[in-house]
Chain A
Amino acid sequence: MAACSVEALLAKAEQEEAEKLKSITVQKDLDLEFDIGNLLASDKTRIESRDFRGQKKEDFLRSLARDNTQLLVNEIWKLPSERVEEAIVTKLPDQTTPLPREKPPPKPRPPTKWEEFAKLKGIQKRKKTNLVWDENRVDKNEYNRLKNIARAQKVKLPGVGLIPTPQQSKEDLVKAVSVARTSTASAGRFQDRLPKEKPPRKTGKKRKFEPLIGNFSNEKQKQLELLKHMGSKKPQLDINRAVNKQMREENREEAAARFKKGGKKGRKSTMSGKGGKGKGGKGKGGPGKGAQGKGGPGKGGQGGKSGGKRRGKLGKH
């Protein structure tokens, strides 16, 4: 009896399972093409036109969609799954369907100023040395051991920057040089520099300023003295002023010459006409005007000169 019932139970269970699986398994004439990366399943079976008549259309499409989706999901379940915070996830494989570009391809951009310069000079891109992190415990331990000894014996160490390293960068070397230079009895003050060595940039001396509200009269005195010093340092012979002066003189002489010429020309042309009177008048007018001409700009020149600073005795005006 028990065996009979067990058999019956087993058979029943098998039947139920088969029913369940039936809904999971799908019979297809042609296998679908899967692109799991894109969650894409392509069904290439031909569709009969009689399935598309009237009411049957909706049912047909629905069942088709359901079957294909079931197959796709089956494929996804075939991938290795993992559990992440109460959800079972799987990593999708790479996409196999090539998709067209969303945006047009980037246009070649014009070379930057540096790129042009580098091309011109033939500068190549230089990769930095690929120094890797040294996992070696031995060297680290050795260094720490030495440090401990130094601390125990109260020996002063030069500084963090001077760790013995196989590859020393430029900054390390510069630091080492400056440390070596200042480790003399007078802290490097009288240490000569090598021919091409540049002077140290940071003197380490703190800048000291005058107090904010110091002695006002002292301050004034210093400033006035500075002004006096600046004033005296200005050159006596100012080239620009000399040139301008020369130009002024030349202009004046030209003007005077023009007046004289004007007088002579006038006389020649009116010789026949108003004769003596004209001559006499012009004659007096000529040198008179000329003299006045020299006097006028001369006075102006003198005035101008006295107005500005007298810069040295430049010849005779």
Chain B
Amino acid sequence: MRPLTDEETKTMFEKLSKYIGDNIKLLVDRPDGSYCFRLHNDRVYYMSEKILKLATHISRDKLVSVGTCFGKFTKTIKFRLHITALDFLAPYAKFKVWVKSGAEQSFLYGNHVLKAGLGRITENTMQYQGVVVYSMTDVPLGFGVAAKSTLECRQVDPMSIVVFHQADVGEFIRNEDTLT
């Protein structure tokens, strides 16, 4: 386990800011405690200082996971956000997409969201903006990338993709082995 270097921090923040914008500072600087990011086996974990101090007692090869895993750095040092970060992205999300109840199941199986399944979308969403996907009952389901801006969304036909799927809560069952 080690802290992130400057480049790694920058890459990660850039990725996060695509979804939560400048609300990252609320993650970095929290009023209810001191939280930090640490890197272990190419994965980034977000944990409180207390947990970190406890984790130092476990050896590197035996340590599986600490706190919440936000994502991992790939071999080409790109940052990939995992579904386990949803709890921290959902409350701070800038751009949201609500999915109709019928298309909810399809999204949870890993499919993209079509225009026919789109319930609501925040105004002023840019194309390729990171969005958090909610169900109609305001339950966060996952996140993705907007395939069309809000204006375009109104004009396209119902079978075109409006949100590219990136992660959904169904992955907790599908990818049980690879999530830490």
Residues of chain A whose beta carbon lies under 8 Å from any beta carbon of chain B: 209-214, 216, 219-220, 222-224, 226-227, 230-231, 240-241, 244, 247-248, 251, 304, 307-308
Contact = CB atoms under 8 A, between A and B. Distances in A.
Interface of B: 1-3, 5-6, 9-10, 13-14, 17, 22, 24-25, 28-29, 34, 36, 38, 49, 52-53, 56, 123-124, 126-127, 149, 151
A183 B38 CA distance: 39
Contact of B34 (A216, A231, A240, A304): A216
Contact of A226 (B3, B9, B124): B9
B124 A247 contact: no
A244 B34 contact: no
B27 to A, nearest CB: 9
A212 B123 contact: no
B26 to A, nearest CB: 11
B149 A209 contact: no
Contact of A224 (B5, B25, B53, B124): B25
Given A213-B53, A216-B34, A219-B36, A304 B25 contact: no
20 contacts: A212-B3, A212-B52, A213-B52, A213-B53, A216-B36, A216-B49, A219-B3, A219-B36, A220-B34, A222-B6, A223-B13, A224-B28, A226-B10, A227-B24, A230-B17, A231-B22, A241-B126, A244-B126, A304-B124, A307-B123
A222 B36 CA distance: 12
Contacts, number: 63
Interface SS of chain A: helix
Contact of B28 (A220, A244, A307): A220
Contacts of A231: 22
Nearest to A248: B151
Nearest to B22: A231
Given A223-B13, A227-B24, A244-B124, 9 more contacts: A210-B2, A210-B3, A212-B56, A220-B29, A223-B28, A224-B29, A304-B123, A304-B124, A307-B124
Contact of B13 (A214, A227, A248): A227
Given A210-B3, A219-B36, A231-B22, A226 B149 contact: no
Nearest to A230: B13
